[in-house]
Amino acid sequence: MPAIVLATLNARYYHAALGLRYLAANMGELESQTQILEFILQHKPADIVEAVLAARPKIVGFGVYIWNAEETTKTVALLKRVAPGITVVLGGPEVSYEYAQQDIVRLADYVITGWGDVSFPKLCRELMAGRPQAQKIIMGEQPALSEIKLPYALYTDTDIAQRLLYVEASRGCPFKCEFCLSSLDKTAWAFDLDLFLDEMARLYERGARQFKFVDRTFNLNIKASARILEFFLARLDEKLFVHFEVIPDHLPDKLKELIARFPAGSLQFEVGIQTFNPEVQALISRKQDTAKTEENLRWLREHSQAHIHADLIVGLPGEDVASFAQGFDRLAALNPHEIQVGILKRLRGTPIDRHTEAHGMRYDPHPPYTVLATDRIDFATMQRLTRFARYWDLIANSGRFPLALPLLLGDAPFQRFLRFADWLYAQTRQTHQIALDRLFDLIYAGLIEVLALPQAEVFDAMARDYAQSGAKGAPRFLGQKGGKEKMLRSATQQTTRQLRHAAH
């Protein structure tokens, strides 16, 4: 039986905890006595505790993040109640800052703040030798990256077959955006690229095809970025998918040449815009060449087949609704495949807290610490914008409404979609668990009733979208006279046009 269990609660099953694997890989002589147990948020604390205790460990380490803090707190409380003799060690960003005020820290035996790759194995050796530590809070030691053993061999065959694999060619970030924990880093540090690519080659040879890079600044070092892209270009097949987070205003010709060679479906870029307002950018210490950002986004859409996921943040200090709306419309005009509208969160330890009083920032006291109001956006309006973000994700980012979405947005995307979102909430009083057929009916009705579009035009777009969605239900709007026949005829004509286009 393992003496040490490493555990965490992932948001979804297909996520695989890279942090736990780093810890396990660096346990040295204790690696054979260490077991990884991963759970998801839907698991009940009692079931998690039962699974942990079945391993009969002496030490349990929990990875604590903003998305699992509350559930992990319940789990640790239950574990210490039924098995008080087990030593509980916490680590992760959520317990690395402002730890004195956290219930989960009070419940645990030890907390390692910051990097744990070296500090956790050291602590376990001391505890296994019967030498408890005097300090409950242990400041994590940051070693040179060359001293950290890479963890990728610990991805199992099941992980490779069923899960998204997280990898990193570097850690840290040189930028100081105050809403991000990476702003606390002094710089970015790169792993030895030859060793890293050797590990990626082994994963690929084992069948891995889904790679999500967690580097905060993938395209910071162009030579390294180019080598990584060349590595995957040499291994292209129909299943390959690689995700990178990129700096939006730093895309030199060398990278463009490589990006243009990736086929559709193989490359995804997460592009952090956050705000187009230069005064807000300066306030939160964000350096961004807006003109270059727009130029690069336009190039990516027109000259590459990369999937573009662009981020904006609602509720930044100094930004009102009019400013956000202007930025949203500006981004929508660049036509990224997805716009992720995020609501600002006050992550523990981030410098964004310095604006709390001056800008009337009010945050939810519970994870994920979402902003509730600012001096520019009151609570009721923030609620509207939160629903806007949820409905945008449900409709625009789903990819199910390629013909209806342009009708929704028109020439004033933010204002029109906000009007529709207000109406949609008034009709449903819910933002989740809206059945697909009902959603089609609601969009159909909203386009006609709220935006006053011609019924025939709306029906044609919605019928085609429904036919192409592959759904098998029967939304009410298709129940009009001849509705299903029109949908089938429209879908057949669309397929015929596509086949003719392909033939030419």
Structural domains for the chain: 4-145 (3.40.50.280), 155-342 (3.80.30.20), 401-504 (no CATH)
Paired residues of 370 in beta bridges = 345
The letter for the amino acid at 361 is M
What's the CA gap between 241 and 255, in Å, rounded?
A: 18
Angle between helical axes of 436-449 and 379-395 (0-180°, round to 10):
120
* In contact, 178 and 354? CB cutoff 8 Å: yes
pLDDT at res. 211: 97
For the chain, give the longest Cα–Cα distance. 80
pLDDT at res. 485: 52
How does pLDDT run along the chain (504 residues), one tens digit per residue? 789 999 999 999 989 999 999 999 999 999 999 999 999 999 999 999 999 999 999 999 999 999 999 999 999 999 999 999 999 999 999 999 999 999 999 999 999 999 999 999 999 999 999 999 999 999 999 999 999 999 999 999 999 999 999 999 999 998 899 999 988 888 899 999 999 999 999 999 999 999 999 998 899 899 999 999 999 999 999 999 999 999 889 999 999 999 999 999 999 999 999 999 999 999 999 999 999 999 999 999 999 999 999 999 999 999 999 999 999 999 999 999 999 999 999 999 999 999 999 999 999 999 999 999 999 999 999 999 999 999 999 999 999 999 999 999 999 999 999 999 999 999 999 999 999 999 999 999 999 999 999 999 999 999 999 999 988 888 999 986 454 455 445 444 554 454 455 444
pLDDT tens digits along 79-91: 999 999 999 999 9
pLDDT at res. 204: 98
One-letter-per-residue 3-state SS of 401-414: CCCHHHHHHCCCHH
pLDDT at res. 497: 52
pLDDT at res. 504: 43
Q: What is the DSSP letter of 164?
A: B
What's the CA gap between 76 and 88, in Å, rounded?
A: 8
Antiparallel, parallel or unpaired: β 170-172 and 188-190: antiparallel
SS3 of 9, please?
strand
* In contact, 240 and 209? CB cutoff 8 Å: yes
Long-range contacts: 248-252, Cβ < 8 Å, 24+? 248/272, 248/273, 248/288, 248/292, 248/293, 248/296, 248/297, 249/288, 249/289, 249/290, 249/292, 249/293, 249/296, 250/219, 250/220, 250/292, 251/219, 251/296, 251/299, 251/300, 252/222
Contacts of 105 (CB under 8 A, 6+ apart): 90, 95, 99, 111
pLDDT at res. 488: 46
The two structure tokens encoding residue 367 = 């994870």
What's the CA gap between 434 and 424, in Å, rounded?
A: 11
The two structure tokens encoding residue 309 = 């996921």
